[in-house]
Amino acid sequence: MAPPFAPKITTTIYQKYIKAYYLIFRLLFIIISVEISRGRTTLPKLFLSTLKKQSLCAVLSRSCSTSNEHRNTPRAVYPVMDRSTINGTISQFSAEINVPEQLGKVKGGRAKGKSVESERINRHPDNIRIQIGKHYRSICDHDAYVTAEKVKNAWLGMGERYRTLAEVFEHDTNDLFKRIGVDRSESTWWRYRASLGHLRAFLKHEYNLHDIPLLELEQSFIEQYHVYLKTVCRSKAGSVCRYMDRWNNNVVKISFNNGLIPRNPFAFYSYSAPTEPRTFLSEEVLRIFQTTRLRSAKHEYHRDLFLFSCFTEICYKDMHYLTCEQIIPDTKGHLRMHGNRCKTGGEYTINFLPTDLRLLEKYRGTVPSSLAFDMPGLSSINCSLRRITKQCGIPRHITFHAARHYLLSYSLKISSLYESLY
């Protein structure tokens, strides 16, 4: 039995003592760890200096402040640079990764230790080394001489070899725009713009992409594009071939000749439009075409334009830009038409027949400008010619260009058809 003056030790007091001793030992362990890490003292000296010179609270205060200062001090990081030496040429570029100062190791160019951070840092230059090797072998297969700058540009995606399909097509189309009025017409540029629009629509429809690299251009891609033009766009065989020709001549061949692609995907792919027999008018058909009374003034005007082209052999483009200043008299006083072809630039001189003069006089003064005729769009004229032939009962498909066919135009001038009609 305990004496009456002895303190009563309860469970709560016992727990408080245990917690106090645990806290003291925890603080001592922290102090010892900090001092040893700094290399200032060993374990026996630490206890002696603590007992002789300083109190526990002072040591604790100093150790905690030192630890906080070490924790708050920013750690220096250094960027990693890559250097390639190929055939005596040197190229340097950033590896796009930083290494902390405590992990840096100059010898070997790798991070120290086996931590997760060290493994991540060392993995990055290994990947760069593998990619550089692939680009080097790829350039060796296609170029005669390899430099470090070529390999660096290939890895950075700046080389010509990594240009895209629509980018090259648009670049060539923009160059074509600069040649308008020199050796190309505006209509040609618009046709190339339409081809570029079909290409981008195909990439969006088939692959859900805006563009693809030139290196990924395969024959299967061209075959799918061919099917797309026929099925989705509902283009005719002639239009499909023209779209494919603009591809082949302006994108694929130029890219292959410049070394942007290793092979020509069109090399073993053939496409051709079915050849249609040329449409011409016989004397009987032309007589019906001229003498039939038309219900529309528009159709009558388009028919007169077609007949003028028949008897003069002038094409639509030259007729569109025909001016009154080009109609001049010859030495005998007969009117003739003199000018230069829009297509070839060649000079031409055409003598007028009485029918041509009658058509000129019929529409003289109806055009506000100096042009001889107010030419509508070619598609509008062809649409009117289809309706006229249907109204005349002619089972033929006639276009404005058919007026320049040999059996229609030139033979009319040397035959007796004109005398029989007029």
Comparing 16 with 131, the larger pLDDT belongs to 131
* Closest C-alpha to 121, from 92, 100, 93, 106: 100
pLDDT of residue 70: 45
Q: Which amino acid is at 325?
A: E
Beta strands in 10-137 (DSSP E): 77-86, 89-100
- Give CA–CA dist 197/208, Å, rounded: 15
Q: What is the mean pLDDT of residues 154-164?
A: 67
Cα dihedral angle (254, 259, 262, 267), rounded to 10 degrees? 20
* Cα–Cα nearest to 90, from 164, 180, 8, 151: 151
Q: In what order do the strands lie in the sheet with 335-340?
A: 327-329, 335-340, 347-351
Going by the DSSP 8-state scheme, the letter that residue 281 receives in this structure is -
Predicted pLDDT at 7: 46
Please give the structure tokens belonging to residue 23. 């806290």
Mean of pLDDT values over 279-297: 79
* More confident position, 291 or 9: 291
Domain spans of the chain, in order of start: 11-64, 77-156, 163-257, 283-421
CA angle 382, 385, 391 (to 5 degrees): 150
Phi-psi region at 259: left, alpha or beta (left = phi > 0; alpha = psi -120 to 50):
left
The mean predicted confidence, pLDDT, of the chain is 75
Identify the band that residue 198 occupies on the pLDDT scale cut at 50, 70 and 90: very high
CA distance 322 to 314: 10
305/146: higher pLDDT: 305
Considering the entire predicted model, what is its pTM? Answer: 0.49
**Dihedral in degrees, nearest 10, Cα atoms 291, 297, 302, 305:** 70
pLDDT digits (tens, 9 = 90+) for 61-103: 444 444 444 444 456 666 777 778 888 888 887 777 777 766 6
Report the percentage of the chain scoring pLDDT > 70: 73
pLDDT at 280 over 80: no
Q: What is the CATH number of domain 283-421?
A: 1.10.443
Per the model's pLDDT, the better-predicted residue between 27 and 74 turns out to be 27
What average pLDDT score do residues 326-347 get? 83
Under 8 Å between Cβ of 99 and 112: no
Alpha-carbon distances, residue 211 vs 177, 208, 219, 337, 410 (angstroms): 22, 9, 17, 50, 50
pLDDT of the residue at 238: 82
The closest alpha carbon to 387, from 282, 288, 279, 303, belongs to 303
